[in-house]
Structures are given as structure tokens and as C-alpha cells.
Amino acid sequence: GENVEQHPSTLSVQEGDSAVIKCTYSDSASNYFPWYKQELGKGPQLIIDIRSNVGEKKDQRIAVTLNKTAKHFSLHITETQPEDSAVYFCAATSYGEDQFYFGTGTSLTVIP
Amino acid sequence: EPEVTQTPSHQVTQMGQEVILRCVPISNHLYFYWYRQILGQKVEFLVSFYNNEISEKSEIFDDQFSVERPDGSNFTLKIRSTKLEDSAMYFCASGGTGYNSPLHFGNGTRLTVT
């Protein structure tokens, strides 16, 4: 099955700086890559996703890039704010597969 | 905005007891899932459910686990005889109308087995 690796496991940035979280996947059939934000005591919330037919997607301060050749995708958060502090998970799945494979999570701390 | 709701938020049970975790998925979604997260670890897939039957399950989902959608709105996960290692956060999720629809998660049930 698919194996998703995520780095770094923890990340601290100053407010206003950018944060980048990277994931790699093993199955070239994977074609859908969502990113989730999990705040303390809550379930993961979808923040952005990308499909394999595009290389980049942006939504305000959040962007995701996908390199299918290298099998990696990244989350970019610009102008970070304290409320961005949370655990972020990447995931991957392929058409016809029910299961989403999650990375191990990145704990992001934005220091005011 | 529609959301997935889970009850209870916290369940404490003794080893060997049966527990039922409940979920109300988003009403027009067709795909339903249970995931679990052991403290500090990644979110792990347990089972997916579509068209009133299990469509996929992981190795974790052994004979002690079962799922049911009894009345068209609730979606339940039953653990027949809990073990200490079943202690985790259990998340219900639902997805829309096709493969690779985004998953929407509930806030989870924290299961503590003593």
C-alpha cells in the first residue's frame, strides 16, 4: 500500500514568517492529496487539497505544490499568524481506493 | 456549514467490555469512515462503508470491530471486547458523492480502556 512520510515533525516560526511542510509518497497511482489542520481536542479539518492534474493550488495564505515525478507535495503558509498553530497532516489516496494514507503530522507553533 | 457529529466525546470503559461509538455523518454524503489516532501518532484508517456495506477495512479492523448504519442517519462503530491497546481517539468521517471526495471529520471520541 501507500506510504506517506512527512517532515518536519515540529516547526516553530515567528509570526509573519512562512512555514513549509513537506510530504513524500510511494505509490505513483496516488492522485489526490489533501492537507488537514488539527487543533487541540478537535478532528482534522481540511484546509486545502490538490489533484494530480495540477502542480500548484493557492487559497489566500495557503498554497500546496505537487511534484509527481519526485512524488512529493508541500504545504506553504505565508504571513503566519498565532492561530495557524496546530498539527498539520498530509494525506494521499488514489482513484478507486477508499483509504486515505496520512503522514505522521507536523506540529506548527507560530511565535507572536 | 454541515458537520459530522460524534458522541460521546469521551468514553471510559473496562477491558473486556463492549463499547459503541456513534456518529452522524453529513446528510448527503455517501461514504463513511472510521479512523483512529493513538496519542501522538498518525491518523490510521479502520474501515470504509458505502451502500450499506463495508467497502474496505484495514488489518486493525479485526473480528472485534463492527460497523452499522442502523437508521439511515447514524453510523456506529462497535468494539465487542475492548483491550488496553484500543485506547485512542476515534474519528468518524464522511465523504461526498464519488471517489476521492474530501473527507470531513468529526471531533472524535476519546476512548480510554482501563
Q: Which pLDDT tens digit goes with each residue over B93-113?
A: 998 766 667 889 999 999 999
Contact A98 B108 (CB under 8 A): no
Contact B45 A93 (CB under 8 A): no
**What are the φ/ψ torsions at residue B86 (nearest 5 degrees)?**
-80, -10
Integer Cα distance of B18 and B82 in angstroms: 6
Instruction: For residues A29-49, give the mean pLDDT.
Output: 92
Q: Which amino acid is at B109?
A: T
CA distance B79 to chain A (A): 20
* Residues A73-93: tens digit of each pLDDT: 999 999 999 999 999 999 999
- For residue B7 the three cell numbers come to 458522541
Closest CB to A89: pick one of B43, B99, B102. B43
DSSP β-bridge partners for residue A36: A46, A89
Grid cell 454541515 in the structure block, residue: B2
**A contacts of B103 (beta carbons < 8 Å):** 34, 46, 100
Cα–Cα nearest to B21, from B31, B30, B33, B11: B11
**A contacts of B42 (beta carbons < 8 Å):** 89, 102-105
Across A14-28, A35-49, A55-69, A87-101, least confident range? A87-101
Instruction: For residues B30-55, give the mean pLDDT.
Output: 91
Contact A32 B100 (CB under 8 A): yes
Question: In the structure, what pLDDT confidence band is assigned to residue A54 with cuts at 50, 70 and 90?
Answer: confident
Integer Cα distance of B62 and B41 in angstroms: 20
